[in-house]
Structure 1
């Protein structure tokens, strides 16, 4: 335990001691001065902080200092009533303020209490309540603003986390201040009650028990009571003022001193007006010397501030001129060629889906899309820059990846998209369209037709869900384009944190970052998750020394991920339905594989390619009528060549090899690809 922690604990113990054990006068005097010093320090800190979170301990400190002051009140009251003395500090304050007239001193003390209780404490309490309520109400909006900046690429994940933490801390701080202000109010009330009890019972004890005369009892106990009240209320007044200063601060770049001087004297010419008005007051019976002195100071201040403002304006013009010249410099054109990895643009009619003030939740959906893709594919996609584009049709949107348009669509915000369960029977009225993510026939129906469409078996979704699904599926299809060398290095760095030896066996030897990137991109291109990096790197470590062909290495990795791939495509009952390739076609493909120094490729004549493609297409069409996925099963030796052959015309067809299917899963053949 450090010395600071120990001092705080001893201070709290001392408060408890003061409530029970009588303290000598010299110790009371010392603690009273400590109380005044701490209160002065608190108000100075509150006036010089730039941000309320720089003094986040203030609510707790307010409670501790209030308890400390009440403990002192109990100790001084015990000394006053039992011994008719309470230390030199209290006696000095009482004698100085009373000045020989106890009634005047008591009136001064009452005025001080009224100022604190009715003006400062009550105002600070009200401001604390309002600040706490508005801070909590504004919290969701601030969180949405942070998410918007994150999705727009203006801040990174670390900065977003810091800003979210700050928003939560501000809400906690103002909520605590709302409760702490009640301590200040209760302290003021307790101070008034203690003073009254000291006076009443002091007079009774002085005249009855000590045999003092009325005048002598009044002089003694009034002096001590007023002194005790002053040494107690002065720190209380300072803390009340500090509370008001903290809760009335608004967002600014400087402390209270900077804000006051900068904003109060922002318009120097107004000082001339104020100085002239004070000068005119000197023409009345008010002493001319005083008004002349004040008006001279005001006019001179206005003149001095006007010169300073003019110099600042010249400096700002010079800075703007310099910035303009810099913008004309050739090197600034480099900033114009930067490109966002992912851009989502929409027409002006679709602004409500992105504007949080209008109930739009697109920004939240984009955040969830990034999380979903990270979980499913194991790749962290870059932030999506969202912007409106007046060049698009009002209801149109489009998605760009690395500057190229990869998807677009249209939304009707006042309609719902209803996807038919089968053939359209015309029972649901709407605007015919196509579901953008999967190309299914659909209709835009009005809200009053929504329930009827659902009863008829239609799948009905709202426009934000339509666009978020479209964006998700599009990014998945193009995930391999988003995985570059830099992103691959980040994945390797993440792997090194848990498997440093494994990562070291693969990179930088025998595989460079670019070669690892090609293997991972080939997996993503066929919708194979790269989340299981340890297994992928173990396979690369085993086979990278044998071959440098990234296509072949990707095939080895797929076989190592057999269980993962099987679970991806098997049915709930543990069955995979596939279309096999006949032995004739397999032999034909294997015989036409050409090996070169740059890799291998399929050199098959166009007529044979067309026959194989048409056979696969017919099988895919039959499976689609049965609502089955098209999966082609072939031998490991030709799998990647079959995929290359089908990729141009039937990219959605999944091609698996026998080694990529778990032996425990039942495989059912529903057709065969042949040349006849």
Structure 2
């Protein structure tokens, strides 16, 4: 027996593909060709059934993307209603004089059954439905879709990077990563399409009003002039037909608008909207008990309808009792079977993969930069991230100036941060944060600007100067007014550079010290071998170098540092005492770092009486200075801060020149209160420099 083979265009897949073109052709045909009343009834019934199917599908949809054909369905259903309006208008105007069933039984039913044959009631009902559809449902759904599209587009780069991170970590495969990328893209396209499709529903509501008015006015003209009908008869007959026609179209339109609102307003979860409503709205018996008490109280007020309120209060109280009893039974069953619950929890908690190992412990990044999703283009190499190049330049400049290579900066996105925020971490702990707006410029006020700028006022995250975020078009104007203008990448890079320099001592670990020794050992191996570990341990050397970095002294001249340590290590092992000897040897470099090429050093000094008091306290308490009398300490801190402020107002670097024994004590004591203060000893100042005393700290006169 020969099997019957269908043509290719009639196969299952292709027949589904033909559904949309056939429907479109039918809608166009309805606008052009006259339809019998029976056929029109079938199409109106189909339109109503289609709207109900769409509504129920949206209610049982778990995720919006499960019904991603909805924008196209919305367009097709709108065109179907408009086609039916055109076809029904033709019949109403041509056959309306014959009676209320001229345009079919469906329109007649809506004209009589729903509005009782009263065209005044019909007009009011039609207008109310149109207002609800146009002003409330459609407008709200369109706004939600618009905001959803905006947020979906803003979050797309962060989601893409999260997928790439999971793929690189081996958590997902290439196929799943490709599927998730496609889903992210489809989500943004869906909300964008819904935003546009909602405009069709708005236009449909306006068209429904216009078509109804045309039917009424046109029917009056046709009935009175062509069919010699009385005005009252023509008005009643054609108005009922027009209102019935409008209601037949507006009710499905309202149903589909509600479906659109449900689709775009729901939050993605593993439950459909009905399950969410029941499980969340009626989950707490306390809420239902209180509501029952309020409604019941209203029911016993004189003049109120007692039966409805008391009946509803009884239902709410009974439902609350059932929910609380069910919850108590569940709690009791869990208490009666603790072993089973524990076993189930252990089974759920125990993964089927490999056992935990030491490889699961991820070391903390020494330096980290976390950015919000709007700053991802600044650090994404694929998008020409300018910040990556600047970070490389920062590390290179730091190595050249300070004297060692800082650890690499590990960059990652953090969706918990604000979209334009970033934070800088040191050994996993935040040491700085701020905001940078990509595409805008930060105009920093250095203190001498000629006016103000419009924009978001803020402060420079690195140095705390007043600043304002401005648009790119105002850059030249801001520079002309005396502002320092930098882009978003420079803001982050400057802040990072400032923090790296400030925390240089913490970045110098044992590994970096060993690398410094290895680097110096290539040129002077004997010098390094004689010091470490013969005379000095590597931990003591690290402490000396950290002491220098804490006070902002560069360690580029490692040869001098090693030579001085090799000279004094046989007699001294205390890191603080060794640091003092190294500072004396590096005095020329320290002074040059502070005063550049100036031969005159403008400094502050201590009053003789205060100096003697501090020397006595040092002899009493030792190098830590713990024996300084509190009143004296407060006076010293306050007067030094005032003198430093005067130095800065004169455009000078605040430098305090003290005797050698007091230098370390005062540097540690004043560092927290006056971070910008530099404390030098007399022995550190080269003989070729001239000292100019600008203020005296502790002068009681």
Instruction: Report deviation, 1:163.
Output: 1.5
2 CA distance for matches of 1:90 and 1:334? 63
2 CA distance for matches of 1:357 and 1:5? 40
Q: Deviations over 1:205-249 (max 9, x none)?
A: 111121100110011101101110111001101111111111101
Name the structure 2 match of 1:457.
none
Q: Is the 8 A contact 1:117 1:185 kept in 2?
A: yes
2 CA distance for matches of 1:328 and 1:41? 44
Name the structure 2 match of 1:202.
219
- Judging changes above 3 Å, is the alpha-carbon distance between structure 1 residues 362 and 67 closer, same or farther for their aligned structure 2 residues? closer
1 CA distance for matches of 2:360 and 2:393? 27
Name the structure 2 match of 1:39.
51
Moved more, 290-299 or 315-324: 315-324
- Residue 283 of structure 1: which of 286, 300, 303 is its match? 300
Instruction: Report deviation, 1:185.
Output: 0.7
Name the structure 2 match of 1:91.
108
2 CA distance for matches of 1:321 and 1:357? 46
Correspondence 1:292 to 2:310: yes
2 CA distance for matches of 1:221 and 1:149? 66
After the TM superposition, which residues 155-554 of structure 1 pair with which residues of structure 2 at under 5 Å, given as runs?
A: 155-284=172-301, 285-313=303-331, 322=340, 324-325=342-343, 337-339=355-357, 345-347=363-365, 350-352=367-369, 359=375, 416-418=394-396, 429-433=401-405
Name the structure 2 match of 1:15.
27
1 CA distance for matches of 2:338 and 2:391? 44
Instruction: Report deviation, 1:356.
Output: 5.2
Correspondence 1:53 to 2:70: no
Q: Deviations over 1:41-86 (max 9, x none)?
A: 0000000110111111110111111111100000001111121121
2 CA distance for matches of 1:10 and 1:261? 40
3-state SS of the aligned residue for 1:417? helix
- Judging changes above 3 Å, is the alpha-carbon distance between structure 1 residues 229 and 351 closer, same or farther for their aligned structure 2 residues? same
3-state SS of the aligned residue for 1:352? strand
Correspondence 1:139 to 2:156: yes
Instruction: Give the alignment's TM-score, normalised by structure 2.
Output: 0.51
Instruction: Report deviation, 1:320.
Output: 8.1
Name the structure 1 match of 2:91.
79
After the TM superposition, which residues 588-667 of structure 1 pair with which residues of structure 2 at under 5 Å, given as runs?
A: none
2 CA distance for matches of 1:118 and 1:12? 29
Q: Is the 8 A contact 1:415 1:462 kept in 2?
A: no
2 CA distance for matches of 1:313 and 1:18? 63
2 CA distance for matches of 1:462 and 1:59? 50
- Judging changes above 3 Å, is the alpha-carbon distance between structure 1 residues 39 and 318 closer, same or farther for their aligned structure 2 residues? farther
- Judging changes above 3 Å, is the alpha-carbon distance between structure 1 residues 316 and 63 closer, same or farther for their aligned structure 2 residues? farther
Instruction: Report deviation, 1:336.
Output: 7.5
Name the structure 1 match of 2:124.
107
Instruction: Report deviation, 1:306.
Output: 1.2
1 CA distance for matches of 2:298 and 2:346? 57
3-state SS of the aligned residue for 2:18? helix
- Judging changes above 3 Å, is the alpha-carbon distance between structure 1 residues 274 and 11 closer, same or farther for their aligned structure 2 residues? same
- Judging changes above 3 Å, is the alpha-carbon distance between structure 1 residues 434 and 180 closer, same or farther for their aligned structure 2 residues? closer
1 CA distance for matches of 2:193 and 2:258? 17
Structure 2 unpaired stretches of 5+: 1-8, 97-101, 385-389, 410-461, 464-495, 499-701
3-state SS of the aligned residue for 2:195? helix
1 CA distance for matches of 2:145 and 2:377? 32
- Judging changes above 3 Å, is the alpha-carbon distance between structure 1 residues 341 and 363 closer, same or farther for their aligned structure 2 residues? farther
Name the structure 2 match of 1:30.
42
Moved more, 31-40 or 145-154: 145-154
Instruction: Report deviation, 1:106.
Output: 1.3
3-state SS of the aligned residue for 2:396? strand
Instruction: Report deviation, 1:432.
Output: 2.5
3-state SS of the aligned residue for 1:351? strand
- Judging changes above 3 Å, is the alpha-carbon distance between structure 1 residues 159 and 7 closer, same or farther for their aligned structure 2 residues? closer
- Judging changes above 3 Å, is the alpha-carbon distance between structure 1 residues 326 and 60 closer, same or farther for their aligned structure 2 residues? closer
Instruction: Report deviation, 1:114.
Output: 1.2
Q: Is the 8 A contact 2:64 2:268 kept in 1?
A: no
Instruction: Report deviation, 1:434.
Output: 8.3
Instruction: Report deviation, 1:123.
Output: 1.1
Instruction: Give the alignment's TM-score, normalised by structure 1.
Output: 0.52
Instruction: Report deviation, 1:8.
Output: 2.8
Q: Deviations over 1:514-558 (max 9, x none)?
A: xxxxxxxxxxxxxxxxxxxxxxxxxxxxxxxxxxxxxxxxxxxxx
Q: Deviations over 1:556-600 (max 9, x none)?
A: xxxxxxxxxxxxxxxxxxxxxxxxxxxxxxxxxxxxxxxxxxxxx
1 CA distance for matches of 2:264 and 2:408? 52
Give the root-mean-square deviation of aligned CA atoms: 3.6
- Judging changes above 3 Å, is the alpha-carbon distance between structure 1 residues 24 and 314 closer, same or farther for their aligned structure 2 residues? same
3-state SS of the aligned residue for 2:34? coil
1 CA distance for matches of 2:69 and 2:34? 31
Instruction: Report deviation, 1:141.
Output: 1.7
2 CA distance for matches of 1:429 and 1:321? 65
1 CA distance for matches of 2:355 and 2:131? 67
2 CA distance for matches of 1:185 and 1:257? 27
3-state SS of the aligned residue for 2:395? strand
- Judging changes above 3 Å, is the alpha-carbon distance between structure 1 residues 192 and 335 closer, same or farther for their aligned structure 2 residues? closer
Q: Is the 8 A contact 1:148 1:363 kept in 2?
A: no
3-state SS of the aligned residue for 2:94? helix
2 CA distance for matches of 1:19 and 1:299? 56
- Judging changes above 3 Å, is the alpha-carbon distance between structure 1 residues 74 and 413 closer, same or farther for their aligned structure 2 residues? same
Instruction: Report deviation, 1:325.
Output: 4.9
Q: Deviations over 1:386-426 (max 9, x none)?
A: xxxxxxxxxxxxxxxxxxxxxxxxxx979822289xxx9xx
Instruction: Report deviation, 1:358.
Output: 9.3
Report how many residues are paired.
Answer: 389
2 CA distance for matches of 1:334 and 1:92? 63
Q: Is the 8 A contact 2:157 2:376 kept in 1?
A: no
- Judging changes above 3 Å, is the alpha-carbon distance between structure 1 residues 340 and 16 closer, same or farther for their aligned structure 2 residues? farther
Structure 1 unpaired stretches of 5+: 369-411, 438-446, 449-460, 464-676
2 CA distance for matches of 1:230 and 1:146? 49
- Judging changes above 3 Å, is the alpha-carbon distance between structure 1 residues 336 and 9 closer, same or farther for their aligned structure 2 residues? closer
